[in-house]
Structure 1
C-alpha cells in the first residue's frame, strides 16, 4: 500500500513539471537593429568617400604640387584658385605660367578686386594671343637667387596698364600704374649692355626688364642701394648720333674761339 502511494506521488510530481518557455524575440530584434545600423554607417562612409574623391579630382593639380603642404600667405587658397583661375587666365597662352605664380596672381586679383570693385576699375590680362607672351617675363631681378615674375595688366580703358613684379611666394616687389601706356616687356640677362645714368653702355648688374613702347624703350632694374626698381631710358642709335654731332659742333666752336684768342 505504501509502495503504491509512493509511485503515485512520483507520477504526480512528474506531471506537474513546468513547461519550457518559448525563446525571447529580444535577441532577434537586437541583431536586426545592429545590422541596420551597420548598413547606415557603411552608406555614410561611402558617401563621404565619394565627396572626398570629387574634391580630389577638382584639386588634383594643386595637391600634386609639393609646396601645398606649406602655408604660403601670398597664395590664393586651393579653393579660391580653382574658382577664380579661369576668370583671371582667360586664354590658353597663360597655362604655362607656373602654378605658384598663378596662385599669387589670383590672390592679387582677389585682394584688389580687379575683376569688379566699387569704383568699377578693372584690370585684366590681355586676351590677344599674339600679345600674351609679351606681357610676362621671368628672371632673378633682385639678384637674390629667387625666381621672380614681371607681368602687365591692362586697364578697362584699353589705353593704360600696370606692371607688377612678384616672387613665386607671392611677395609683391614692385607695382606701378602706366597711364596712357600699353607697353610690352621682356627680360634681359645680367651682363647685357644697357644705358644707366649716362649715354654709355655698361653691363647690367642684375637681370632686368625691357619696357618697350611704340616710340621709346626703358629698362627697369633693381637698385640695391634704394631697394627698389629704377627706370632708365635707352637711347636709340639716332639719339647717340645726334649727341655726337652736338659734341663735335661744340668742340669746333671752342677751337675757333681759342684760335681767335691766340691770334
Structure 2
C-alpha cells in the first residue's frame, strides 16, 4: 500500500473550477488499521479523535479555516438546506444531500463506493452535495438536490455537477433482482447493466447518476471516472472490505464551498 501519511489528495472537477471543492480519498490521514488514512466516517467505529483530525485536515485541504457541515446519511432521496445556523456533528439531520447559499462554509458527503455529487450555480451563489448510492439514486436524491438549489435562487440552466469517485461498472456485480428494480422503474434502464456471469450483471452507477443529472436539464455534468474498488491505496470501498472480510471500512469525503 502507498504511504498514506502523504499530503491529502484532492481530486477536482473542471466544471467546478474556481470554486473551493474536492473529492478526497484516503491519503493524508492519521487513522490506522483497516481504516488507515483519511477516514472521515463518524459512524465507522474508528477512534473519534482520529476521525475529527481527518475531518479537520480534509477541510483545510479544500478551504482553510472554513467550517464543515454534513448530514447523517441514510440512503434516502432527502435533501436539506443549511441556513445561517450550523448544526453540530451530533445534530446532523437525517438526509443524503444538503444545499446552501451561505458563503465560506464547506458542505460535504461521505462515501465508500456510492457516488458523491457536487453541484453549483455560481451566479446565484448556491451549492449542493449529494450522496447517491443506488437506493438514493433511483429514488431521486439528485432531483431533490436540484429542487432545493432552485428554492434558494439557482436556475436549472446554470447548475453544473460533477460525479466523483465511486464503484465502477467493472467492479459492481449485482443479481437479477437488483436489475429488475431498475427495469420496473423504466425499461430503458437496461442500458446501465452489462451481462456478467450467469444470472448476474454489472451495474454502471456513475453513468446512471450522471444520466439522471443530465435528464434534469442542468447545464453540464462531469464524470471523474475514478473507481473506488480497484484503488485500495487511494480510496475506501465497502464492497472491497466485504470481499476481504474486513471488520470495518473507512469513508472518504467530498466537499464544496462558495468561497
> TM-score interval w.r.t. the shorter chain?
under 0.3
In the superposition, the TM-score normalised over structure 1's length comes to 0.27
Kindly indicate whether structure 1 or structure 2 has the higher relative contact order, using CA contacts under 8 Å at least 6 residues apart: 2
In the superposition, the TM-score normalised over structure 2's length comes to 0.27
Which structure has the bigger radius of gyration? 1
